[in-house]
Structure 1
Amino acid sequence: MTQHRSAFRKLALTTFLFSLPLNAAFAQDATAVAERLKSVLAGQNLTLAWTSVTGDASEAVLEGTSIQMAGEGKPFSIGKLTLSGITEENRGFKIETITTEPYSLNEGPTKVEVSPLTLGNVTLPASDSTDLLASFLMYETANLDNVSVKIGDKQAFQMTNFAAEVTPPADGNAMEFTGSAEKFTADLTLVEDPQSKAAIEALGYQNISGDFQMEGTWQPTDGRMALSSYDVTVDNAGTLGMTFDLGGYTVEFLKSVQELQKKMAAQPEGTDNSAQGLAMLGLMQQLTFNGATVRFDDDSVTNKVLEYLAKQQNMTAKDIANQAKAIVPFLMMELNNPELSTQVTTAVTAYLDAPKSIEIAAKPASPVPFALLAASGMSNPKDLPKTLGLTVTANQD
């Protein structure tokens, strides 16, 4: 029996000694992943810090994690960060999920609660990677179940089921991205301004709900960035939608902007940043404008506003609409653009007679450099609508 106990102690000791270098190697692997994540975020003007790293080659946990944007005085604490399903890929790392802890903040009567944020299929390329997007944190999915803001015992704002998907660029194809929130709610009875409060109550929008959707593409090689939809819908009110299409939004452009932001953040408070401001304007002139739209689809809010204004002036909603239609041509005279004036007058008249939708679109015949837009806006602003190919339409699909 004594021999058995002696043999067992030797085996246990041997196993313990053998496991020491293994544990050290696993910890080193976990730290290497954390350091690579820190390096990638630093390239985007974000400083990641932690108090300790635990885990092994497949999962790492960063305790006491904080993140700080360049120029911000205080780091933002995010607690524990869990990196799961880590594998090596092309001398870099692929991570199945990066997950935060639930977040809670109390300031006076205000309480903010945020559920864990999960990023899926995160890529951390090797530090010497030649990939065009190697300096950016790339993920394929993002999910956030709930954001809640309470003031006292009232739910001031809540957003549920936010989700985003990103299809990385491959084989010459552009990156595709989508995002949405299933629902948001807001309690507008908490608005304190008396005039705004009275208008909200009269319109019946004390509590609102809605959703938003967005999608677009980005081609990093030539910098074509197109937001094909960004729609915010408020139930029983309407949908505000925007699109834009830019050129020149390249990786090099982004890096230049980030570098300039870093320099501005490093300046002592109160320093004159006019030189950096001019430099930013210079960078913006590398972009080209291909088009943009702003559209509103009505869902009863227009007639409610007309009725509200009519009551304020002891008139009818139709009288208010007719007044607006009569004023528009005089406002447009300043542009000295008869064609556009006719378009706007026709569109506003059609919309107020039967509110369905109204859209402002800028679609130049060919891409317009931002430098030309800036020059035109300063030298002859009345020509800007022609340069942009500006149109206004109503009640069109």
Structure 2
Amino acid sequence: MTVQYSPKRLFSASLLAAGLSLPALPALALDADDFATKLAALSSQSGNRLSFSAVEPDGNTVVLRSVRIEVPGQAPIAAGDITFKGVEEEDDGGYFVSEALFEDVEINEGPTTVTVEGIEMTGLSVPGNGETGSLAGMLFYEGFSTGEISVETDDVRVFSMAGVDMQVERQDDGSKVDMRMNGSDLKIDLSSIDDPKARDAIQQLGYETLTGDINLTAAWDATAGTVNMQEYSLSLDDVGRLSMSMEISGYTLEFINAMQQAQAAAAANPDPQAAQQALGFAMLGMLQQLNFNSASVRFEDASVTERALAFAGKQQGVSGDQMRMALKGMLPLMLGRIGIPELQKQIAAAASVYLNNPQDITITAMPASPVAVPVIMGAGMGDPKSLVDLLNVQIIANKPVEVCCKQ
């Protein structure tokens, strides 16, 4: 059976699925109803509601039939049947599940169909005592994976990926969580682009099908409240690699609990408009606890720059090298509109170095000390130009840099 629902609800459904860090019982007799009840209670912590038509135990396997997930402000999500294997009860009354298997997903939106096959989670766990003051009291999963992911438009496959594999590791003392994710064998078919001019330009650049992968590496120190996204990258063969990193602090268990309570309160409010307004105010208040530590964006070239220069030059009747020189000459005029002299110098210098020898270009924001998120928001609304100094923005090319984040 394939489950169908709107793409706007896929993200919420995926998060809920990832949140089904679920239960299990002892070798004596698995209390499947207790398992299902505690699972439903987990989802309610953040104001969501999990329901199902039946609970079917078979040894240490439990199947929840016709699972329905209700997320505040969204239409209900029909998740189909979910099968939990290797369910075991823990000493604290919680459960551990070896693996959870989800039905394939099919999303239809006009002429476009998105399918996700082989969705599976491993090492699911849920506490039995309802503790919220430590990582041990939170839902957790050790692995999440899918089979093939594909997108078809008018019966033509325009995107596919062999699958996603995510591994999550929690330290024994419950203070830190490390996560690694890989999306492999990504393929994007550019030959079916509708716009003839865009399609012709892409072909002249030498691209018909893009291939590559996606990687994410992150860590969360629950005690310090530090979230360190060390790498979030997209690599495309013969194009380049775009990577981002970021570190924030203040994301503590207390922050998460407060956020869940605000979401639960909004879900319980019978007036949707008032609920969303109250939730918005609560979130703004909680943002004051978050600090920005550092961030970076880096592009490493793998031939796309030279291809683009040659293509742009051809449009102007000149060579790629002549186009390179013309761009360097136009930089001061183009950058003058920014109105931030120091930043303009940085961009001009980095762009000149990069254009001469396309290797990599990096933008970093590394303030001397953490900056509160509300301060950044205020500066962005009041005087955007001040953000350059506030966040210590730097732009460099063809140099190895420590792009972000303490290891």
TM-score using structure 2 length: 0.82
Distance 1:86 1:369, change over 3 A: same
Judging changes above 3 Å, is the alpha-carbon distance between structure 1 residues 110 and 338 closer, same or farther for their aligned structure 2 residues?
Answer: closer
Other-structure match for 2:4: none
Match of 1:77 in 2: 78
Residue 264 of structure 1 and its aligned partner are, at CA, apart by 6.0
- Aligned ranges 1:69-148 → 2 under 5 Å: 69-73=71-75, 75-89=76-90, 90-105=92-107, 109-129=111-131, 132-133=134-135, 136-148=138-150
SS of alignment partner, residue 70 of structure 1: coil
Matched-pair contact (CA < 8 Å) for 1:41–1:48:
yes
1:288 aligns with 2:291: yes
CA contact (8 A) 2:185 2:213 kept: yes
SS of alignment partner, residue 148 of structure 2: strand
1:130 to partner: Cα distance: 5.0
1:232 aligns with 2:234: yes
Kindly indicate whether the alpha-carbon contact (under 8 Å) linking 1:26 and 1:55 is maintained by their aligned counterparts in 2. Answer: no
Conserved 8 A contact 2:157-2:189:
yes
1:10 aligns with none
Deviates more, 1:127-136 or 1:111-120: 127-136
What pairs with 1:244-283 in structure 2 (closer than 5 Å)? 244-261=246-263, 276-283=279-286
Q: Which residue of the partner structure matches residue 222 of structure 2?
A: 220
Q: After the TM superposition, which residues 1-397 of structure 1 pair with which residues of structure 2 at under 5 Å, given as runs?
A: 29-56=31-58, 58-73=60-75, 75-89=76-90, 90-105=92-107, 109-129=111-131, 132-133=134-135, 136-171=138-173, 173-261=175-263, 276-333=279-336, 337-397=340-400
Partner of 2:367: helix, strand, or coil? coil
Question: Which ranges in structure 1 are unaligned for 5 or more consecutive residues?
Answer: 1-24
Q: Which residue identity lines up with residue 63 of structure 1 in the other structure?
A: R
| AA at the equivalent of 2:86 | G
Kindly provide the amino acid, as one letter, of the partner of residue 80 in structure 2. G
Question: Post-superposition shift, 1:214?
Answer: 1.0
Task: Report the alpha carbon displacement of residue 163 of structure 1 after superposing the two structures with TM.
Answer: 0.6
Residue pair 1:64, 1:78 contacting (<8 A) in 2 also: yes
**Structure 1 Cα separation of the partners of residues 202 and 287 of structure 2:** 39
SS at match of 1:95: strand
Larger radius of gyration: 1
State the secondary structure of the residue aligned to 1:189: coil
Contact 2:161 2:183 in 1 (8 A): yes
Name the amino acid aligned to 1:243: S
From the superposition, tell whether residues 272 and 217 of structure 1 become closer, same or farther in structure 2 (CA, over 3 Å).
closer
Q: Which amino acid aligns with 1:384?
A: L
Give the deviation of 1:263 after TM superposition: 5.8
Tell me, what secondary structure is at the counterpart of 2:289? coil
CA distance in 2, matches of 1:106, 1:224: 39
The CA deviation string for residues 326-385 of structure 1, in whole angstroms up to 9 with x for no partner, is 333344445555443322211100111111111000111111111222333344433321
- The alpha-carbon distance between structure 1 residues 186 and 92, as it changes in their structure 2 partners (threshold 3 A), is same
The count of residues paired between Structure 1 and Structure 2 equals 371
Given that 1:44 and 1:136 are in contact with CA atoms closer than 8 Å, whether structure 2 keeps it comes out as no
| Higher helix content, 1 or 2 | 1
* Secondary structure at 1:309 match in 2: helix
What is the match of residue 11 of structure 2?
none
Q: Deviations over 1:258-299 (max 9, x none)?
A: 444556676767779566545433322321111000000111
TM-score (structure 1 length as normaliser) = 0.84
Give the secondary-structure state (helix, strand or coil) at the position aligned to 1:33.
Answer: helix
TM superposition shift of 1:301: 0.9
Return the offset for 1:144. Answer: 0.9
CA gap of 1:248–1:307, structure 2 versus 1, over 3 A, is: same
| Distance across 2 between alignment mates of 1:140 and 1:318 | 51
Counterpart Cα distance in 1 of 2:331 and 2:258:
43
Name the % identity.
32
Match of 1:318, SS state, is: helix
Using a 3 Å threshold, how does the CA distance of structure 1 residues 282 and 307 change in structure 2: closer, same or farther?
A: farther
Which letter does structure 1 place at the counterpart of 2:140? M
Higher relative contact order (CA 8 A, sep 6+): 2
Point out the more displaced range, 280-289 or 105-114.
105-114
Distance 1:185 1:134 in 2: 39
CA distance in 2: counterparts of 1:374 and 1:149, whole angstroms: 36
Equivalents in 2 of 1:258, 1:205: separation in Å? 46
SS for the counterpart of 1:91 is: coil
Gap regions ≥5 residues in structure 2? 1-27, 401-407
Q: 1:313-332, CA deviations, whole angstroms, 9 ceiling, x for partnerless residues? A: 22332333233323333444
2:12 maps to what in 1? none
Q: Deviations over 1:80-118 (max 9, x none)?
A: 211111111121111111111233455665443322211
